[in-house]
Amino acid sequence: MKTKIIDAGTLVGPVGVLLLVLFLAGCTGEKEVTPVPVGVMTEYVDPVLRAHVYHPLGWIPDIEAGRRARFFSGEGVKERFLDPTGSYPDGAAIHVEIRRTRSADSVAKALLDEMTSIGFVLKDHDSVTVDGIRCPRYPYLGNFGGGIMLHGEHIYAATDTALYEITFAGFGTAYEAHRAVFDTSLSGFRFPTPLEPGKDPTLPSQVMAQYNSKTISFSYPDNFNFEKTTDSVVILRGVRQDCSIRLDVFSAQGNSADKVLEQNISKFSRASKGAATVSGLPAPYFTYAPTRQVERRFYFVVKDDKVHRLALDWYRPQRSEYLAAYDTFLKSIVLK
Pair 93, 81: CB distance under 8 Å: yes
Domains of the chain: 13-188 (3.40.1000.10), 208-335 (3.40.1000.10)
Residue 193 confidence (pLDDT): 72
- Residue range 90-106, pLDDT digits in tens: 999 999 999 989 899 99
Pair 322, 243: CB distance under 8 Å: yes
Question: Which ranges of the chain have pLDDT less than 50?
Answer: 1-29
280 three-state secondary structure: coil
Residue 30 confidence (pLDDT): 56
Beta strands 272-274 and 277-278, pairing class: unpaired
**φ, ψ of residue 214 in degrees (nearest 5):** -70, -15
**Alpha-helix runs per DSSP H in 33-142:** 77-82, 104-117
Amino acid identity of 219?
S
Taking alpha carbons only, the member of 69, 52, 53 closest to residue 61 is 69
- Residue range 194-217, pLDDT digits in tens: 766 778 888 998 888 888 888 999
Give one DSSP letter per residue of 24-61, joined into a string: GG--S------PPP---EEEEE-TTT--EEEEETTPEE
Kindly give, in sequence order, each residue whose CB lies less than 8 Å from that of residue 14, ignoring residues fewer than 6 positions away: none
Residue 195 confidence (pLDDT): 64
Pair 332, 267: CB distance under 8 Å: no
pTM equals: 0.65
Question: Which DSSP state fits 6?
Answer: S
Q: Give the integer Cα–Cα distance in Å for 6 and 14.
A: 13
Q: Give the integer Cα–Cα distance in Å for 260 and 274.
A: 14
